[in-house]
Amino acid sequence: MHHRHTFPPPKPPALLRCLPAAPWPLARLLLCWLLAGWLGALGPAPALAQEQSTKSSMDQTGKDNTPLPQVDELRKQLDAIPRKLDEADSNRQLLDEINAVGTAAERLANHRTTELAELDLRLAGLGPAPAKGTPAEAPDVAAQRASLNKQRTDIDAELKLARLIAVDAEQRGADLVRQRRLQFQAALTTHADSPLSPSFWRTLRHTAPGDFARLQVLGADLLGAARAALDSKHRNAFQGYLLLALLLAVAGTWLAERILVRVLPSRLPAGRLRRSLLAMAAIVANVLIIGTAMQFAWSALKLGGPLPDNLLALQQATVRAAAYAAFVVTLGHGLLSRRRSSWRLLPISDDLARRLSPLPWWTAALSALGAVVTDVNAIIGASLAAEVLVHAVFALLLSFSVAVALGRLHATPDGAAAGDEAAHGRPDSEASRPLWVGLILAGAGVAVVLTVAAVVFGFIALAGTLARQMVWSGVVFATTYLLFQLADDLSQALLSSKGRVGARIHNTLGISAQLLDQSAVVLSGLLRVLLFFYMVIALMAPLGTNPDELFRRGSNVDHNLKVGDLTLAPQALLTALAVVCAGFVAIRIGKHWLSERYFPHTSLEPGMRSSIVTLLGYVGGVVVIAVALAGLGISVERIAWVASALSVGIGFGLQAIVQNFISGLILLAERPVKVGDWVVLGDTEGDVRRVNVRATEIQLGDRSTVIVPNSEFITKTVRNMTLGSAQGRVLLRLPAPLDTDARRMRALILQAFHAHEDILENPAPSVTLEGVQSGTLTFLAIGYVSSPRNAAGVRSDVLFAILDALREAGLALSPPATTSVAQAQRDTTPEPPLSAPA
């Protein structure tokens, strides 16, 4: 029968108590939902358990019918939390308790606000109280009014107290964060004996026996748990758990990689999305497999009975370290992809990828081992000298690994780089590196030098922080790069016109390919900005604040980002953006439905259809923008105030724009000029292709487009050739000598008009003798065509036919001969003469 030593884990030494945790909190946050299934056996952390129990006991009534918290209870809980952060206190636990109280107070305030609104409605239903000197109301109504007023007074008082508690909790939390930051800064500047000094080793020699004895106790507990599992009736299960853990850790990761490589590419769309999704899937799979394997190993030890507290703490530390190591190794494998260059996410050569491939393994092993050793020191209550030694050793090891990686990056053979660049199109020479990459590498080199110097001079806390920050920054940058690639690939796959989804959207909704490509780029940019924001938060995490706290701050930017009286909350910004996107998509769908589905079944002409669609689009755009601004907290009154403030600027600098805008609305409403009309405006003559709010597009005969401000159509004379009728007129004035056979001449001209297929039979062409002047006969010939756009070509054809007919008949024209074209409804007033062939 063995004896199991149990004791509560002691607090770490005061010197290193304020240091940040090992560089895996962000990975834990990103993967906690993946590990929830097999981490449940560990039980929640003390702070998390307390927060969960507090939230469950303070939840609103309704779903679980739990009672609402009392204001007095919340105040007592808040007052019981220390205002000053001592060295032995857990900042995370205190913040969790404060946040739990603040959350409960906010829930209570929201519930009371709803009750207060309901009471106001009930009081309004009773009507106003009778004034003095008026007949009293019925006794039951008066009793009900008094009861409601009393309830309202009590609820209003409780509401104010709950809001006050929420504000106090927020202020207390901010004060604790400030205190912890000050402690962290003080710890960084603490000086200890240098590992190069004899006093450091003398102190370590004196404390080593006690540390070794404590470590033996932990080892004895671990060995006792293993013997208990082997001696019990669960011996076969113990061996099966260990074998399963070994198979998962070794064969599981190998098999998962091959399954993903064979299954995912065939099921994913072609393009870069395969690479990024495969890397992300490999990270998730490997973290799950390694974490599950570690859990199976510890489950084997639990077969002999419950584990003591020190082994439970060791279990939690090893599982976290294993999950973090799997995350880092798989992330590096996905970025470098030494064996499959086509799946590589980093634009580097094969030679550089091969030389950097050990780096993820070094980083994962050293970081995870350092985290486990640090946790073991805290569990056994190691001496300060042991803590200092551990931090100094791992700071030097991490610095050495970073220095080796930097050396391999700078030792790129020119020949190999040039060959790989020619083969794969991926330059990796220093000259082709972006500026931000050079700055990161230079910062890493400076951090290595400072870390070694800090260890030599005895600033162990500062050295450990710099070393962990180097590794942590590298993991954060690598993770952000992968997420950037995934965001770009997803945006291109979902919205780009070249993808299957984008092509389907284009064919279904009629959205242009260019607009889809622009939307893909915009979505990718927004995702990059969001990822960059959280990357900065993650980089700041080890510098005195936990990542989850910083993420919570990031979600509460609305308390800090204000422009005057306007509060820009992330939720409001996202809501406004969603309203704008959904609104303009709905407008586009509605316009497409009107123009393509509904209007073709009506008797409206194309110009009227275009005007209605354009007007509805402008009205809908104004409504969408107004709703989006309302979502941001900008009311219509503020918009009107801004408009009045801009009236002076409109009067001076924007009057031309406003004039064109009003003119465009008049054109769309009255439609003196519509799409499809042939207009003449000064020297501009052509077809109206589009009427916008500011300007109108006119296509000339040479297929060029003239943009004419709308005010020109309102303030100047415009000749609309197709306003009253779509017919055009061909008018010819043909002079002939006085001795010409007039009847023969008339017959030839009419024959030429009738012979042309574009000359209309109704109204029929006509030839009249307009007059005799100066020994010349003037024949006026008029023919009609279906469109004024065809008049010029028809006139030329008829003239050629008339000249040929006159030459064959022996007749001739005398100068000056004239031709003209006019609209069917216009008068026949002679126009200025134009020269014609004799």
Residue 829 — very low, low, confident or very high, per pLDDT cuts 50/70/90?
A: very low
Q: With the C-alpha atoms ordered 180, 181, 186, 189, is the resulting torsion angle positive or negative?
A: positive
pLDDT at 619: 84
Residue pLDDT, tens place only, 778-809:
888 988 888 777 777 888 888 998 888 888 88
Task: Tell the CATH topology of 668-720.
Answer: SH3 type barrels. (2.30.30)
Contacts of 325 (CB under 8 A, 6+ apart): 290, 364, 365, 367, 368
Domain boundaries, the chain: 44-127+138-188, 199-423+432-540, 556-645, 668-720, 728-823
3-state secondary structure of 453: helix
Summarize the confidence of residues 360-371 as an average pLDDT: 88
User: Per residue in 118-146, is it b (16+ CB within 10 Å) or e — as a string?
Assistant: ebeeebeeeeeeeeeeeeeeeeeeeeebe
What tokens appear for 656 in the block? 């031309």
Greatest Cα pair distance, the chain, in angstroms, is 146
Q: Pick 687 or 660 by higher pLDDT.
A: 687
Residue labelled with tokens 């469109």: 787
Summarize the confidence of residues 519-544 as an average pLDDT: 78
| Whether residue 634 has pLDDT greater than 60 | yes
Residue pLDDT, tens place only, 177-232:
677 666 655 665 677 777 888 888 888 888 888 888 888 888 888 888 888 888 76
| Whether residue 89 has pLDDT greater than 60 | no
Residue pLDDT, tens place only, 334-352:
888 887 777 788 888 888 8
Pairing of strands 695-699, 684-691: antiparallel
Specify whether the CB–CB gap between 572 and 628 falls below 8 A. Answer: no
Q: Which helix (H) or strand (E) holds 821?
A: strand 818-823
| Whether residue 650 has pLDDT greater than 70 | no
Sheet holding 684-691, edge to edge: 705-709, 695-699, 684-691, 678-681, 719-720
Q: Which span out of 131-145, 459-473, 564-578, 720-734 was modeled with the highest average pLDDT?
A: 459-473
| Whether residue 576 has pLDDT greater than 70 | yes
What tokens appear for 457 in the block? 């001079």
| Whether residue 762 has pLDDT greater than 80 | yes
| Whether residue 402 has pLDDT greater than 80 | yes
pLDDT at 546: 47
535: left (phi over 0), alpha (psi -120 to 50) or beta: alpha
> Backbone phi, then psi, for 600, in 5-degree steps?
-60, -20
Residue 239 — very low, low, confident or very high, per pLDDT cuts 50/70/90?
A: confident
What tokens appear for 792 in the block? 């010029």
Q: Pick 726 or 321 by higher pLDDT.
A: 321
Q: With the C-alpha atoms ordered 438, 439, 445, 448, is the resulting torsion angle positive or negative?
A: negative
Residue 327 — very low, low, confident or very high, per pLDDT cuts 50/70/90?
A: very high
Residue 564 — very low, low, confident or very high, per pLDDT cuts 50/70/90?
A: low
Q: Pick 377 or 41 by higher pLDDT.
A: 377
Q: With the C-alpha atoms ordered 322, 328, 334, 337, is the resulting torsion angle positive or negative?
A: negative
Question: What is the pTM (predicted TM-score) of this model?
Answer: 0.55
**219, amino acid identity:** G
Residue 654 — very low, low, confident or very high, per pLDDT cuts 50/70/90?
A: low
Residue 643 — very low, low, confident or very high, per pLDDT cuts 50/70/90?
A: low
CATH 3.30.70.100 corresponds to the domain 728-823: yes
pLDDT at 422: 39
Q: Which helix (H) or strand (E) holds 392?
A: helix 384-410
pLDDT at 33: 35
pLDDT at 180: 66
Summarize the confidence of residues 291-301 as an average pLDDT: 88
Summarize the confidence of residues 138-163 as an average pLDDT: 85
Query: Shortest CA distance to 618 belongs to which of 626, 606, 628?
Result: 626
pLDDT at 19: 41
Average pLDDT, the chain: 75
pLDDT at 789: 72
Summarize the confidence of residues 297-302 as an average pLDDT: 88
The upper half-sphere exposure of residue 528, i.e. CA atoms within 13 Å in the direction of its Cβ, equals 12
For 83-152, the DSSP string reads SS--TTS-HHHHHHHHHHHHHHHHHHHHHHHHHHHHHHHHHHHH-PPPPTTSPPPPHHHHHHHHHHHHHH
Specify whether the CB–CB gap between 759 and 794 falls below 8 A. Answer: yes
| Whether residue 307 has pLDDT greater than 60 | yes
| Whether residue 666 has pLDDT greater than 50 | yes
Q: What percent of the chain has pLDDT over 70?
A: 75
Summarize the confidence of residues 599-605 as an average pLDDT: 74
pLDDT at 414: 40
Summarize the confidence of residues 430-440 as an average pLDDT: 67
| Whether residue 672 has pLDDT greater than 50 | yes
| Whether residue 91 has pLDDT greater than 70 | no
